[in-house]
């Protein structure tokens, strides 16, 4: 009996010793005692590892016993540390600068030997890309963004005061974003990537989830192109070992060394041309396998990147026991600015606990991210235990300062004091941008439009005031859903007609409901002819009144619900009284108005003959929209579907019902739409398309406002979108029959202009577009346009083609200004 107990005690003691773990901390320095930032420290099997922080400090928890750790960093010779761990231990690691040897005899052959190495790496690219096996891993990410420079005031806003509120120093500099996260990733090459966030820490907001995403830092140089960070460049970047990389880069062998019995070549990479999406820096290639050993590359303004001045990318790989090579760490350092602001920072990811070929469900992983409740509630003890990158003193102080600021900001006294200051009425703000009164503690606000933006001019009303206000109350803090009550008042000073409406929208269970009633002025083209501001300028200054209006009295209810399968269902019912109105004002700033001003009936421009009699309509609409993309992110209380590479399909049915509430209309309209924007073509730009069609199954009785309408353009400057015809009249080709329209645009994304020295710095994007329309009355109509785009401004030349002589051969210059 005693022997059995003694044996059990020994077993428990042995098991305890086996499972005991200790904390290993230390610093990585070079031979001169300088810190080596973000060096990788890992066990040779790749299962456990970490990285040093920006000061070379590291921490790693290991089980008791004997260990062998490898430490390496790009540009330094790898070292192996052997030790026995039986208590918390400090370890100093010294990395010596790598001495790359260059054989002068080899260089004498004419072509730099780097080219032969790169050709072999290019030939092996697909092999290394396709050999990737399924795996799981743990990823720690730290993101830090700093404000490096800021003016005292910007657009009249006191930045000193804002800086104090967000924890900046007296010079308005400091950390503006600090966040850490841990995730488990599950990868099934080539495309399936699932991330589960297991911990999240956000400086200054313990309710928020980190913006850090492992998917955003995923970078594979075995792919021909790398689309780094959305919006950084119009085109993806070309890998130094892409199939056609020799056409884009020059190479120079800087030297060769040996690591763990393997020969490593250090090769300098230089772009052949400016203004191309190309890297510069160093790439490390292993002899024999011709795989990437490390990356140290830079993107600058010469690579046509936006906002940032430089983006420095460093990536290291480690061999696993399975023979696979996987990233041990990746780091993005950036510096940039806009106006008088300068920003800088980094995102660093450390990979560990690799497990190759785990059991996982094959097929598409529709859920790409999962964040469960509680991951943002980890305490400081947890982070001290699990954080692989130790905090710098600046980061530690930022957490303390921002946590204190958050507690202060959440107090009712603070929120009330902020509201008292922000709610002060300023006449200039009310005139220009509007006025908002907030109660942050109770989560509601009242907003009123700016007076200047509410004034317009048209020939039906003359000078018109169209003023709106809204009340918004956050009623669902979990799903961020609001109750909105809104109202609008409109008065025409020439025709003396007043219109006004009220409405409300609110969440109801998992759906959304909208109710509205009143009267307003509407465009005869229910897709919108041109924005009121454009019409005001066109009418008042140029004497061209393109906008045609009618008065609508209405009551409407609408419902929207999104199914878990990413299908959005809509339903609505509306009663309307439609009244056509004549012109009442003919004043413009032009001396001669007659040749230009037209009536409010687009079909009789020189006579105000009513386009339709006053009528009533009662209609119902049913719709469904399906995004073929099925990938989504799961948050504690909601699912968010992601934009996909596939088009979106919409179908809608509208029925005008006669006799209900005095309804005069009797028609059935079915429409369908298939559209997709920004389909990437790699280096060759992107394509967008939009195809729509409709059929009146029954058109016994309907009025012009019920017709199928199309977006046209008559002005030099317009709010141009993909579905806008550049030479078509706004109203003359609307139809009560069947119709099909198609639009396509190819954006070359500086493919040509980057070759022209005077244009490349402007980053002008080339555009080519086509538009097509067929209706029951018009057999074929088409347009083509070419132009250049900068930011939200584009200049185009358009020409029309048609089976009808009156529409054939027209051309014009158009300036597109995308307001929304």
**pLDDT tens, residue by residue, 590-627:** 766 556 799 999 999 999 999 999 999 999 999 999 98
Q: Are residues 176 and 202 in the same domain?
A: yes
What integer best gives the mean pLDDT of the chain?
Answer: 89
**Do 275 and 216 lie in a common domain?**
yes
pLDDT band at 14 (very low <50, low <70, confident <90, very high): very low
| Local confidence band at 815 (pLDDT 50, 70, 90 cut-offs) | very high
Residues 653 and 685 in one domain: no
User: Which long-range contacts does 553-557 make (Cβ < 8 Å, 24+ apart)?
Assistant: 553/518, 553/519, 553/577, 553/579, 554/501, 554/516, 554/517, 554/518, 554/519, 554/520, 555/516, 555/517, 556/514, 556/515, 556/516, 556/517, 557/513, 557/514, 557/515
pLDDT confidence tier of residue 408, bands split at 50, 70 and 90: confident
Task: Determine what percent of the chain is predicted with pLDDT higher than 70.
Answer: 95
Domain edge (last residue) among 664, 699, 727: 664
With 80 as the cut, is the pLDDT of residue 252 above it?
yes
391 shares its domain with 479: no
Is residue 425 domain-resident?
A: no
On whether residue 682 sits in a domain, the answer given is yes
| pLDDT tens column, 158-194 | 788 788 878 888 888 889 999 999 999 999 888 888 9
- Identify the pLDDT of residue 595: 62
pLDDT at residue 16 in the model:
39
Domain boundary among 95, 113, 147: 95
The tokens describing 767, both together, are 């555009």
Please state the domain count of the chain.
4
Among 46-50, 249-253, 602-606, the minimum mean pLDDT is found in 46-50
pLDDT band at 2 (very low <50, low <70, confident <90, very high): very low
- pLDDT tens by residue, 309-342: 999 999 999 888 778 888 989 999 999 988 888 9
Q: For residues 91 and 110, state if they share a domain.
A: no
DSSP 261-275: TEEEEEEEEEESSTT
Q: What is the pLDDT of residue 234?
A: 87
**What's the Cα-to-Cα distance from 44 to each of 69, 86, 352, rounded to whole Å?**
7, 20, 12
480 and 463 within one domain: yes
Looking at the chain, the whole-number percentage of residues with pLDDT higher than 90 is: 54
Answer yes or no: is 712 within a domain: yes
What pLDDT was estimated at residue 422? 81
The answer on pLDDT for 268 being more than 80 is yes
Higher-pLDDT residue of 399, 157: 399
Same domain membership, residue 379 and residue 454: no
Q: What is residue 414's three-state secondary structure? A: helix
Alpha-carbon span 316 to 294, nearest angstrom = 5
Q: Is residue 127 located within the same domain as residue 213? A: yes
Determine the pLDDT at residue 61.
86
3-state SS string over 594-625?
A: CCCCCCCCCCCCCCCCCCCCCEEEEEEEEEEE
Which of 767, 794, 759 is CA-nearest to residue 678?
A: 767
- Summarize pLDDT for 504-521 with one digit per residue, the tens: 999 998 899 999 999 999
The values of phi and psi at residue 766, to 5°, are -80, 140
Q: Name 34's Cβ contacts closer than 8 Å, sequence gap at least 6.
A: none
The answer to the question of residue 151 being in a domain is: yes
Q: Is residue 585 part of a domain?
A: yes
Q: Confirm whether 623 is domain-assigned.
A: yes
91 and 108 in a single domain? The answer is: no
In the predicted structure, residue 781 carries a pLDDT above the cut 70: yes
Q: Confirm whether 424 is domain-assigned.
A: no
Q: Give me the pLDDT at residue 13, please.
A: 36
Task: Look at residue 724 in the predicted model and tell me its pLDDT.
Answer: 94
Same-domain check for residues 510 and 591: yes
β-pairing, 462-476 vs 481-492, is antiparallel
SS3 assignment, position 472: strand
- Tell me how far apart the alpha carbons of residues 68 and 85 are, in angstroms, rounded to a whole number: 11
**At 760, phi and psi to the nearest 5?**
-60, -35
Domain extent, residue 87, equals: 21-95
Same-domain check for residues 365 and 458: no
Q: Identify the residue with better confidence: 407 or 330.
A: 330
Q: Answer whether residue 764 is part of any domain.
A: yes
Band of the pLDDT at 362, cuts 50, 70, 90? low
CATH number at residue 59: 2.60.40.10
Q: For position 104, what pLDDT does the model report?
A: 55
Measured CA to CA, the distance from residue 183 to residue 185 in angstroms comes to: 6
Asked if 688 and 766 sit in the same domain, the reply is yes
């Amino acid at each position: 009996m005693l022997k059995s107990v003694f044996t059990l005690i020994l077993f428990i003691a042995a098991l305890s010793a086996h499972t005991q773990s200790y904390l290993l901390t230390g610093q990585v320095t070079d031979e001169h005692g300088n810190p080596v930032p973000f060096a990788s420290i890992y066990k040779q099997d790749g299962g456990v590892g970490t990285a040093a922080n920006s000061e070379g400090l590291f921490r790693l928890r290991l089980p008791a016993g004997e260990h062998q750790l490898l430490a390496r960093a790009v540009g330094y010779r790898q070292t192996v540390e052997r030790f026995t761990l039986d208590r918390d231990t400090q370890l100093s690691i010294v990395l010596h600068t790598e001495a790359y040897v260059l054989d002068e005899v080899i260089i004498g052959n004419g072509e730099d030997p780097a080219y032969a190495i790169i050709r072999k790496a290019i030939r092996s690219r697909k092999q290394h890309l396709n050999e990737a096996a399924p795996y799981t891993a743990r990823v720690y990410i730290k993101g830090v963004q700093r404000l490096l420079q800021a003016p005292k005031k910007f657009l009249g806003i006191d930045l000193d005061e804002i800086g104090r509120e967000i924890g900046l120093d007296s010079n308005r500099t400091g950390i503006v974003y600090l966040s850490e996260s841990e995730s488990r990733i599950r990868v099934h090459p080539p495309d399936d990537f699932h991330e589960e966030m297991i911990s999240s820490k956000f400086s200054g907001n313990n309710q928020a989830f980190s913006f850090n995403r492992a998917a955003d830092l995923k970078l594979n140089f075995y792919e021909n192109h790398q689309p780094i960070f959305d919006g950084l460049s119009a085109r993806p970047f070309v890998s130094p070992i892409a199939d056609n990389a020799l056409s884009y880069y020059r190479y120079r062998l800087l030297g060769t060394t040996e690591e763990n019995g393997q020969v490593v070549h250090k090769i300098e990479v230089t772009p052949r041309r400016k203004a191309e999406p190309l890297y510069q820096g160093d790439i490390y290639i292993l002899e024999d396998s011709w795989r990437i050993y490390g990356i140290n590359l830079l993107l600058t303004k010469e690579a046509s990147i936006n906002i940032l001045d430089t983006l420095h990318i460093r990536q290291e790989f480690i061999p696993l026991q399975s023979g696979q090579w996987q990233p041990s760490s990746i780091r993005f350092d950036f510096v940039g600015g806009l106006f008088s602001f300068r920003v800088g920072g980094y995102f660093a990811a450390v990979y560990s606990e690799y497990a190759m070929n785990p059991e996982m469900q094959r097929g598409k992983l529709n859920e790409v991210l999962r964040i469960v409740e509680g991951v943002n509630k980890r305490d400081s003890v947890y982070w001290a235990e699990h954080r692989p990158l130790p905090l710098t003193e600046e980061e530690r102080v930022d957490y303390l300062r921002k946590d204190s600021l958050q507690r202060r900001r959440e107090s009712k006294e603070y929120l009330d004091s902020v509201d008292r200051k922000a709610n002060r009425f300023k006449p200039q703000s009310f005139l220009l941008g509007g006025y908002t009164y907030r109660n942050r503690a109770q989560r509601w606000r009242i907003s009123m439009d700016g007076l200047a933006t509410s004034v317009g001019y048209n020939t039906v009303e003359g000078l018109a005031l169209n003023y709106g206000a809204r009340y918004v109350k956050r009623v669902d803090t979990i799903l961020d859903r609001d109750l909105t009550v809104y109202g609008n008042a409109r008065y025409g000073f020439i025709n003396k007609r007043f219109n006004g409406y009220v409405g409300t929208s609110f969440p109801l269970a998992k759906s959304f409901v909208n109710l509205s009633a009143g009267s307003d002025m509407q465009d005869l083209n229910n897709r919108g002819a041109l924005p009121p501001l454009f019409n005001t300028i066109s009418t008042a200054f140029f004497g061209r009144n393109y906008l045609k209006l009618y008065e609508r009295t209405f009551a409407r209810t609408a419902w929207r619900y999104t199914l878990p399968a990413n299908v959005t269902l809509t339903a609505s019912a509306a009663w309307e009284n439609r009244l056509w109105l004549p012109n009442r004002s003919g004043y413009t700033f032009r001396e001669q108005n007659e040749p230009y001003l037209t009536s409010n009936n687009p079909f009789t421009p020189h006579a105000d003959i009513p386009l339709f009699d006053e009528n009533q309509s009662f209609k119902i609409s049913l719709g469904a929209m399906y995004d073929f993309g099925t990938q989504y992110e799961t948050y504690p209380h909601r699912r968010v579907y992601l934009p996909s590479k596939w088009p979106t399909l919409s179908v809608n049915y509208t029925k005008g019902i006669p006799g209900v509430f005095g309804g005069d209309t009797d028609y059935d309209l079915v429409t369908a739409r298939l559209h997709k924007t920004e389909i990437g073509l790699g280096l060759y730009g992107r394509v967008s398309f939009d195809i729509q069609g409709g059929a009146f199954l029954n058109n016994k009785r309907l009025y012009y406002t019920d017709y199928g309408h199309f977006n046209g353009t008559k002005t030099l400057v317009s709010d141009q979108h993909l579905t806008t015809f550049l030479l078509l009249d706004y109203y003359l080709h609307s139809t009560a029959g069947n119709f099909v329209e198609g639009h396509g645009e190819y954006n070359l994304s500086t493919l040509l202009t980057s070759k022209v020295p005077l244009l490349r710095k402007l980053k002008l994007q080339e555009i080519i577009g086509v538009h097509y329309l067929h209706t029951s009355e018009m057999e074929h109509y088409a347009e083509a346009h070419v132009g250049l785009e900068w930011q939200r401004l584009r200049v185009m030349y358009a020409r029309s083609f048609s089976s009808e002589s009156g529409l054939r051969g027209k051309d014009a210059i158009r300036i597109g200004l995308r307001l929304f």
